Amino acid sequence: MKKLDEYVRTIPDFPEPGIMFRDITSVLQDADGLQLAIDEMQNLVKDLDFDVVVGAESRGFIFGTAIAYNMKKPFVMIRKKGKLPCETISEDYELEYGTATLEMHKDSIKPGQKVLIVDDLIATGGTTKAMIRLIEKLEGEVAGVLVMMELKGLKGREALGDYKLFSALAYEGK
């Protein structure tokens, strides 16, 4: 059986020279790769105490819902601004060129709930930090952050400070 990193396609010089783009679509397109990614991620948090799984649009939905289902936990969506139908809270965060806004339903996390954040990757940590702020606005407790891939050269782990980060794969570069 192949290892998880063997399912990740690397595209040199995308989107700009010097960048090694790690493409997860090749993992998702292969049934064995997808199953391996979810199993490996889930195994990293099998002993973590949490009540609910949160994932950000859109790739956090892929991994987060599967892990929530397998571990018999509810799943909460964090979406781009204007996509959720009920009363929301929002958080702005920095992008490479500008800002973006994430939202979640105001009633999606109960005070004191322990939350596992699931996403496909962590790079600089900006999106993850925005998710943490949303959860904490609702008085939830972030139990940990789980990603399939960590781009260590962009220092997202350091940006998270004391929050627990679990990554199935880690790449040294950007």
Catalytic positions, written as ranges = 59, 96
* Angstrom distances, CA of residue 136 to CA of 3, 114, 142: 36, 10, 8
Are 64 and 118 a contacting pair, CB within 8 Å?
yes
Count of helices and strands (H, E) across the chain: 5, 9
* DSSP annotation string for 16-74: STT-EEEE-HHHHTSHHHHHHHHHHHHHHTTT---SEEEEETTHHHHHHHHHHHHTT--
Question: Which residue bears the tokens 């954040």?
Answer: 117
**Is residue 75 helix, strand or coil?**
strand
**Is residue 99 helix, strand or coil?**
strand
Q: What is the dihedral of CA 150, 91, 61, 136, to 10 degrees?
A: 80
